[in-house]
Structure 1
Amino acid sequence: MIDLTLYDPFERMQFSDTNCFLCGTIITQEHRAPVFAEWLQYKYSLQNKELLLLDKSVTTFSQLTIPCCDRCHTHYLLPLEAEVEQAAAKGVEGLQALPPQRLFQWIGKMYYGSLVTELIKEANPLVMPEYAVSEDPKMLGKFRSFYQVLQSLRVPMVFSDFLPCSLFILEVDPTEDELPFEYQDELTTMSFSIKMGSAAIVCTLLDNGIIRRALGKLYQVTEGHSLHPIQLAEFKARVFYAAYIFSVVPEYFIRPVKPEDDHLVLDTLIDDVTNEIFNPWEMTAYAHMLEEMLKPWSIREAEILQNPKQPLSFLLDEENNFKPMERYLKQV
């Protein structure tokens, strides 16, 4: 008999080192799972690389672990990681061949692992974050909705005509690519990007694919092209900014379960009648985001907004066609 019961840690704010993050089972503090899989850490020598948390404490990739019972680790996390490892070994084509729901679960596990770490830390922070996640009811509601669909990792679940996220898989040109691994996430907007060798995944969680549709033409323009790292940075800025102005939270509903059912079916609803899907696009705010992404090339906002009506772009020419680029030449 398949257990189709969902776990909800948000009901009692049950975030501790003694509850499995995925099923809530009481465990000891030794029961942990890495947020970033061991295969990923070994392949890109990440073990001792540092990560800064919201409370200003520092951890490393190998130290960033989440409470996880043996059953969830063995039955759900390890098979997922094995699938993604095999796909990633084949680059962009391998990742594109993976079922999108599996990529969503993989990214969701890393994102949620970082989030749970922050929520546990907030109980006894090194420095109290300026905006404590656990004290923002709207954010907690958003995280709760996300966790509901992340439970698909443990409970068989079918999403009816939707995927809870927007996924972009891009190829990176190796000519001037000096970083074999890159990772970035933004907890509040649920934006995530990871680059493994020549393959990059950019994702916005909990938007039901709306951002992918909104940026569909841009994504289409990049298809079949290898992006220079500076072009990837711009693509990320556009996706992360779209997530920043995305203003609705999808609701998810479980269809009534019949005794013979072996999975849950989820429907979704977005209130686009009383709410705008996106807040207005503000060029200065986008320029801030792009400046942040372009830090490795020391490109400042003034240069980005030299022509305020058409901000600096490395991806598109004036006719919005793809701009081929193998090397970056600093404009003098």
Structure 2
Amino acid sequence: MIDLNLYDPFEKMQFSDTNCFLCGTIITPEHRAPVFAEWLQEQYGLRNKELLLLDKSVTTFDKLTIPCCDRCHTHYLLPLEAKVEYAAAKGIEGLRALEDQELFQWIGKMYYGTLITELIKEASPLIMPEYAVSEDPKMLGKFRTFFQVLQSLRVPMVFSDFLPCTLFLLEVNPSEDSLPFEYQDELTTMCFSIKLGSVVIVCKLLDNGIIRSAMGKLYQLTQGKQLHPIQVAEFKARVFYAAYIFSVVPEYFIRPVKPEDDHLVLDTLIDDITNEIFNPWEMVAYAHMLEEMLKPWDVREQEILKNPGQPLSFLLDDENNFKEVPHYQKQ
């Protein structure tokens, strides 16, 4: 019989090494699953690369693991990882062939795994973070909502006419690119990007595809193009800044379950009557984000805002057409 009951660790803040992150089953501390899959670590040489956590402690990719029971690991996580590994080996067309919901689950697991690590560590941090996640009711409410839809990993779930995230897939020009793997995440804005060879996936979790709609025209211009890495950096800056000013949290509602049902159906609602979807776009704040993304090319804010009405862009020309950037040399 299929278990359609959802697990809610947020109700009692049940974040520990003795509860499976996905179903809540009591486990021993030895039951772990990697946040970044074994195949990723192997393929991109990540095992001993360092990661800085919010409490200023340092871990490595191979040590970043989450409590996970054998059943969830074997039946849900490993099959998904095998699918993504197979798709990634085929490049951008392989990843595009995956179901969007599968990419959402894959990215969501890595994002949530990092979050769970932070929540567990906040019980005994090396240095107490300035803004402890566990002490922010608004953020916890957002994470709780996200975990509700992430459980589609374990509980068969159909999203009615929506996907709980925005997904972008970009292809990098291999002749201009020497970076095999890269990832960035923003815990509070729920934005994530990961580079697998020549493909970059950029994701904003928990926006129901609104940022995808807002950036649809620009995204369309990038399709079928091999982008210079500096163009990818600008695209990421636009998505990460849009996530920063995104100001609503969707609500999800489970339709009544009948005895014969073998999956849950979720509907969604976003309050765009009493709340603005986006806070105002502030050019200086966007320039800060873009400068951060363009650090490898030493492009400074002063150059970005040389014309404040039309900030520097490597993606669009003055007429908002796609700009070809075959090469870029630092000034």
**Which moved further from structure 2: 170-179 or 41-50?**
170-179
Spell out structure 1 runs of 4+ moving beyond 4 A: none
Matched, 1:200 2:200: yes
In structure 1, the gaps of 5 or more residues are none
Q: Give the CA deviation at 1:300.
A: 1.0
In the TM superposition, what whole-angstrom CA distance separates every residue of 1:108-165 from its partner, at most 9, and x where no partner exists? 0000000000000111000111111001100000000000000000000000000000
- TM-score after normalising by structure 1: 0.99
Residue in 2 that maps onto 1:282: 282
Residue in 1 that maps onto 2:165: 165
In the TM superposition, what whole-angstrom CA distance separates every residue of 1:215-257 from its partner, at most 9, and x where no partner exists? 0011011111011111000000000000000000000000000
Residue in 1 that maps onto 2:19: 19
CA distance in 1, matches of 2:326, 2:14: 50
The amino acid across from 1:178 in the alignment is S
Q: Give the CA deviation at 1:101.
A: 0.2
The amino acid across from 2:182 in the alignment is E
The amino acid across from 2:247 in the alignment is S
CA distance in 2, matches of 1:91, 1:12: 42
Residue in 1 that maps onto 2:239: 239
Residue in 2 that maps onto 1:320: 320
The amino acid across from 1:18 in the alignment is T
Q: Give the CA deviation at 1:178.
A: 1.6
Q: Give the CA deviation at 1:299.
A: 1.1
In the TM superposition, what whole-angstrom CA distance separates every residue of 1:243-290 from its partner, at most 9, and x where no partner exists? 000000000000000000000000000000000000000000000000
Matched, 1:185 2:194: no
CA distance in 1, matches of 2:330, 2:119: 42
The amino acid across from 2:159 in the alignment is F
Identical columns (%): 84
In structure 2, the gaps of 5 or more residues are none
CA distance in 2, matches of 1:129, 1:185: 17
Residue in 2 that maps onto 1:219: 219
Residue in 1 that maps onto 2:82: 82
Residue in 2 that maps onto 1:61: 61
CA distance in 2, matches of 1:217, 1:129: 39
The amino acid across from 2:3 in the alignment is D
* Within-5 A mapping of 1:34-113: 34-113=34-113
RMSD: 0.5
Residue in 2 that maps onto 1:260: 260
Check whether the contact 2:48–2:62 (CA below 8 A) recurs between aligned residues.
yes
Check whether the contact 1:175–1:326 (CA below 8 A) recurs between aligned residues.
no
Q: Give the CA deviation at 1:176.
A: 2.0
Q: Alignment partner of 1:268: what SS?
A: strand
Q: Alignment partner of 2:63: what SS?
A: coil
Residue in 2 that maps onto 1:5: 5
The amino acid across from 2:136 in the alignment is D
Check whether the contact 2:298–2:330 (CA below 8 A) recurs between aligned residues.
no
Check whether the contact 1:176–1:229 (CA below 8 A) recurs between aligned residues.
yes
Check whether the contact 2:287–2:305 (CA below 8 A) recurs between aligned residues.
yes
Q: Give the CA deviation at 1:330.
A: 2.8
Check whether the contact 1:101–1:163 (CA below 8 A) recurs between aligned residues.
yes
The amino acid across from 1:37 in the alignment is A
The amino acid across from 2:327 in the alignment is R
CA distance in 2, matches of 1:313, 1:129: 35
CA distance in 2, matches of 1:326, 1:72: 45
CA distance in 2, matches of 1:106, 1:43: 17
Count of aligned residue pairs for this structure pair: 331
